[in-house]
Chain A
């Protein structure tokens, strides 16, 4: 009996070894750690693009993991390093706390490529970073706002998830300006945690208090949308020729449409399409070429309601045209869950 058992076990082992060798093939194994695709339209587009790029047809054996909690992301990253993935693609939910993961990756020979968001670490700890320059996005928006030449800037500042790269970058530029200029004031500065409904409540509470304001600086489009709902409910005009300037960020096509229609004044683009560039870097590395630049920033202009064109909306807007990749997503979810286990 024991012999039979041993035989069966041995056979199983051989088979599984064969399976691993077979599965490996020529595929490059990558572990993709991203934020929750349902967080925002930006993230939906970003996640869909990554999933569409890193598939078997393109030569990748990819496992995906989505979570907005940095601690969960870190745990999964460590699991993926133990599973000896060739590349770890990372969009960190928070900018800090990644030291151990990066050290483990280096020790295990796993190459780390950051996409979409930065983290705080020495440049030597990762191969490349294809990211949005969040401070620059904030800077562009604040410069644009300053160019509007208002006598006084009374700002409702609605922040994103505290500590995230996007929040830190977009807040930094505005904080600096408000600090420096006498006629720039915060009416309120609150986090809505990327939540549209919370943003609406915050703006409603300012209106209820009777404080006057003329700028809404929301750190993503969803929150700007919530803020506008509160303005509409109180009959406060906004956008082109309106009393209140509305600023949003990201890339949602409906938000760009709102800017085009003059309902909003400005949207700072945050380009969610890094998958192509990441793919190119990996292909280069496989061929033995190191990326020329360590940190590659996406081209991210801001769109003004005076100058935006239909073409801009078609080129940069995300959300509606994503039909095909979105449908592939459910199949990949199973893989993501496996990775999570």
Chain B
């Protein structure tokens, strides 16, 4: 390791290789770098971006307001989906593209129970906890449907979940008799807005709670290890006594639960639902968050915190673009350019190439 003895040329090559290697070693490099870039850009362009102020909302409760709060608040649904999507990606080597439609179903179930079949209610007809639990249950069943298709019928995840992607929103509309119900009860909106007296948006707390839950699950159970081993080599895991099908199915059911919570937050924000517009295209952002987090979309090793960070990066980017008043028609283009750059950098092929450069320089050193 004594670099001093090498010739200057070799030393330079090695240090470049070393840097690249370190870059690729750290899975969180890409999302962290992206976040830092965005923060720096906003600091330089307009530091007031980070201003947070305490206001009173129209109900007279204290609330915090500012871009940073908005990013944390609005990213909540995406973070929840990204967590579930990471597990599904790791175990089955594919993505669930039906999460947006499934959010519509979960939201619809919750609204239906809370409204009790009426079009507009001022007080909830069913206990909120019961309604949310029912939403989670239904969503887990739909998750299991996807999981069975993927694990037991060995259908490509994207094709299997295409079924629900296509049919999900119609199912959601059917659950509510094609009506667009409205819940005026303020208590229903607590989860999506603010609880009186607490100035931080409730979705932030829900997200932190779920993240902690997954941290505990990954820390104290074999969920992470099993998911990873099934994703890397299902046959080898089976020979080692795991049931790969069961584990794949489990990850889809877990995603179903995440989807339901995200769906609940979304309908709770407004107290209403619009089946064809709710969480539209969110599946793409969720998959992107997983990719940004440095996870291989082909499955195997995963880092759930990378995906979480990736989700916040996406929301940060969206908020930044809004802040700078990017014309509405051009907004997707700007987003696409940034995303292409980030994704190419975090693509497994590019990473492999990079680590290859690192390795070959190391090998050259060893030979020497």
- On A, residues with C-beta under 8 Å from B are 36-41, 44, 48, 68, 159, 162, 188-191, 193-197, 200-202, 204-205, 207-210, 222, 225-226, 229, 231-237, 254, 319-320, 322, 326-327, 329-330, 333
Nearest neighbor of A202 in chain B, beta-carbon distance: B322
Please determine whether A191 and B329 come into contact, CB atoms closer than 8 angstroms.
yes
Decide yes or no whether B266 CB sits under 8 A from chain A: yes
Please determine whether B63 and A208 come into contact, CB atoms closer than 8 angstroms.
no
| Residues of the B chain whose Cβ atoms lie less than 8 Å from the Cβ of A194 | 274, 277
Binary flags per residue of B83-104, CB closer than 8 Å to A gives 1, else 0 = 0000000000000000000000
Please determine whether B182 and A254 come into contact, CB atoms closer than 8 angstroms.
yes
Q: Give complex CA distance A205, B69 in Å.
A: 10
| Residues of the B chain whose Cβ atoms lie less than 8 Å from the Cβ of A236 | 58
Q: Give complex CA distance A202, B328 in Å.
A: 10
Q: Give complex CA distance A340, B318 in Å.
A: 36
| Residues of the B chain whose Cβ atoms lie less than 8 Å from the Cβ of A36 | 276
10 A-B pairs closest in CB distance: A38-B275, A205-B322, A191-B328, A190-B328, A38-B276, A232-B58, A208-B67, A235-B56, A195-B277, A36-B276
Q: Give complex CA distance A319, B179 in Å.
A: 8
Please determine whether A196 and B74 come into contact, CB atoms closer than 8 angstroms.
no
Nearest neighbor of A333 in chain B, beta-carbon distance: B170
> Assuming A188-B322, A208-B69, A234-B65, what are 20 further A-B pairs, CB within 8 angstroms?
A36-B276, A38-B169, A44-B178, A189-B327, A194-B274, A194-B277, A197-B277, A201-B74, A208-B70, A208-B319, A209-B48, A210-B48, A225-B272, A232-B58, A233-B57, A233-B58, A234-B55, A235-B60, A319-B180, A330-B178
Q: Which residues 195-210 of B sit at the A interface, judged by CB distance below 8 A?
A: none
- On B, residues with C-beta under 8 Å from A are 48-49, 51, 55-60, 63, 65-67, 69-70, 74, 119-120, 169-170, 173-174, 177-180, 182, 193-194, 266, 269-270, 272, 274-280, 318-319, 322-323, 325, 327-329, 331
Give the residue of A195, A222, A327 whose beta carbon is less than 8 angstroms from that of B280: A195
Nearest neighbor of A330 in chain B, beta-carbon distance: B174
| Residues of the A chain whose Cβ atoms lie less than 8 Å from the Cβ of B331 | 190
| Residues of the B chain whose Cβ atoms lie less than 8 Å from the Cβ of A209 | 48-49, 67, 323
Please determine whether A226 and B67 come into contact, CB atoms closer than 8 angstroms.
no
Please determine whether A201 and B276 come into contact, CB atoms closer than 8 angstroms.
no
Please determine whether A231 and B58 come into contact, CB atoms closer than 8 angstroms.
yes
Please determine whether B319 and A205 come into contact, CB atoms closer than 8 angstroms.
yes
**Given A210-B48, A235-B58: A38 in contact with B173 (beta carbons within 8 A):** yes
Please determine whether A208 and B66 come into contact, CB atoms closer than 8 angstroms.
yes
> Quick one: which of A159, A195, A197, A201 has the most chain B CB within 10 A?
A197
**Given A38-B274, A222-B274: A197 in contact with B269 (beta carbons within 8 A):** yes
Q: Give complex CA distance A195, B272 in Å.
A: 12
**Given A201-B322, A205-B319, A208-B65: A162 in contact with B274 (beta carbons within 8 A):** no
